[in-house]
A and B are shown apart, each in its own frame.
Chain A
């Protein structure tokens, strides 16, 4: 039976146009973008073209405000550490939320070792930050607020615009980790009012291993990688030319097809949520019912554990995940789910289902049928289930 990918957040297929552009770039004889001869110039032009495409995708008016990175994680590390270190003369306090990705959490932990202080604010049962808590958390010495855009485990979208009004008023810099939002939902950095925004190429069907950082002109930021003068002196190292070209094409397509993609994903999500009760009982949908990514459903199944569900579905060629791939090696219940008030057992029984533009309504039906038998089998095994 053919594969059904309902784990698009872990890996997305490359769009044919993206593949084509990348193959052309691999076969073509590109130089090093920093070289001054023709080959170098050609490479440099290709990079600047991709930069413009990516800038357009997030409505960034000046493409030089885009700094390419090797992935979303690098972009987040660059923003959080780079802004904190470059602005530490003004203060050493950072505000974040309890449901960030490990890239933020661990960057902040590293900064704490270097004398920074961090206040992490809680979220409500939908995984949403109350902007009022941000106001309360900001102190005299706060230099940075870093709160994610769309959550990778429950899909909740944070009130970024409201938070940026606060940070602007308080004269504090604001970074948002939008890795799972950019290219999936419309993102407009002007409207959001953020100073820095992290993104990656794979969520919008570009190659993995490429990401970028929007950093508003004038914001002080130390490079994470030191060396040459690439990326406007913000990120040293020879550019991943092939990858960046791929991301540029993917960004153009994402911008062009945004409305139809969102409507397709929303339709799949609606069907899944509507049909679920006729297949299984005793479950909970996590995340905010309205402020949420259109491609993600977080489903907590009572009395059973997520990994065994993943393995059984995989046996039937259906791919889902228990949580972000980055954390799936971890046996600990998700800090995001626990932060929304879910108990340990229910958090362990959670699946993250992420749709892509290649999914069909039939995929949802096949998934639900297999989920039904899987849940029944595992509940029969479970000492927690009494029926």
Chain B
């Protein structure tokens, strides 16, 4: 189901790990869909000198993170800002359609890390680090109700189809009509 490149990056991920005292850090995740990603940046002369990632997710999510770090490493900040999720998927020789949304978060996490770096440079030390919007979708693709697979739109807290709450993982599933 995955391309050779995806499997290669999944089995031998590049730049995986934590970075101590990063210059910029971005976290993105969506507990509804299951994948979470953290990107750490070391920046000098407006260039990404080093980049690390940590990912909780499926094979695609790990491969996406790995490929993203390869694409971003050595790029200037301005170039890195232009990297899109599509670029990552393309470099991986494609991703299964149903993985495009939930697992292809790499570029979003990178952009957040850059934002965080720029905010710190501007003197807002903590901006971006805390309170990263970890449960919002920042891209176009759709998400689905975890109970009944109906497509749900952003911000929806109750699935129209099965009437179950979809925004709160702590509450047990309700009995309902």
Chain A residues close to B by CB (< 8 Å): 98, 105, 109, 117-122, 133, 137, 303-308, 311-312, 315, 329-333, 335, 338-339, 341, 343-345, 348, 380-384
Contact = CB atoms under 8 A, between A and B. Distances in A.
B10 interface: yes
Interface string B88-99: 000000000011
Given A331-B33, A381-B16, A345 B58 contact: no
A311 B59 CA distance: 7
Nearest to B146: A332
Contact of A308 (B17, B27, B59, B170): B59
Contact of B54 (A315, A343, A383): A383
A339 B54 CA distance: 29
Contact of A380 (B16, B29, B177): B16
A332 B175 contact: no
Interface string B8-32: 0011010011000000000101011
Contacts of A382: 54-56
A305 B61 contact: yes
A339 B56 contact: no
B72 interface: no
B35 interface: yes
B42 to A, nearest CB: 17
Nearest to B144: A332
Residue among B29, B35, B56 having the largest count of chain A Cβ atoms under 10 Å: B56
A343 B55 contact: no
Residue among B16, B102, B177 having the largest count of chain A Cβ atoms under 10 Å: B177
B34 A344 contact: yes
Nearest to B147: A335
Contacts, number: 106
B149 interface: yes
B34 A333 contact: yes
Given A119-B177, A338-B146, A380-B17, A344 B55 contact: no
B156 to A, nearest CB: 15
A308 B10 contact: yes
A6 B145 CA distance: 29
A105 B146 CA distance: 13
Nearest to B145: A332
Contacts of B103: 331
Given A332-B146, A338-B147, A343-B169, A308 B58 contact: yes
B97 to A, nearest CB: 10
B38 A308 contact: no
B172 interface: yes
B177 A383 contact: no
A305 B146 contact: no
A47 B171 CA distance: 50
A118 B7 CA distance: 43
Contacts of A335: 146-148, 173
A137 to B, nearest CB: 8
Residue among A133, A311, A329 having the largest count of chain B Cβ atoms under 10 Å: A311
A305 B56 contact: yes
B177 A331 contact: no
Contacts of A133: 175
A314 B62 CA distance: 16
B146 A315 contact: no
Nearest to A346: B169
Contacts of B35: 305
Contact of B62 (A121, A122, A137, A308): A308
A344 B169 contact: yes
Contacts of B169: 338, 343-345
Nearest to B109: A383
B143 to A, nearest CB: 9
Contacts of A109: 148, 161
A118 B162 CA distance: 11
Given A331-B98, A344-B146, A345-B34, A339 B62 contact: no
A98 B145 contact: no
B56 A383 contact: yes
Contacts of A344: 31-32, 34, 146, 169
Contact of B175 (A119, A304, A333, A343): A119
A122 B172 contact: yes
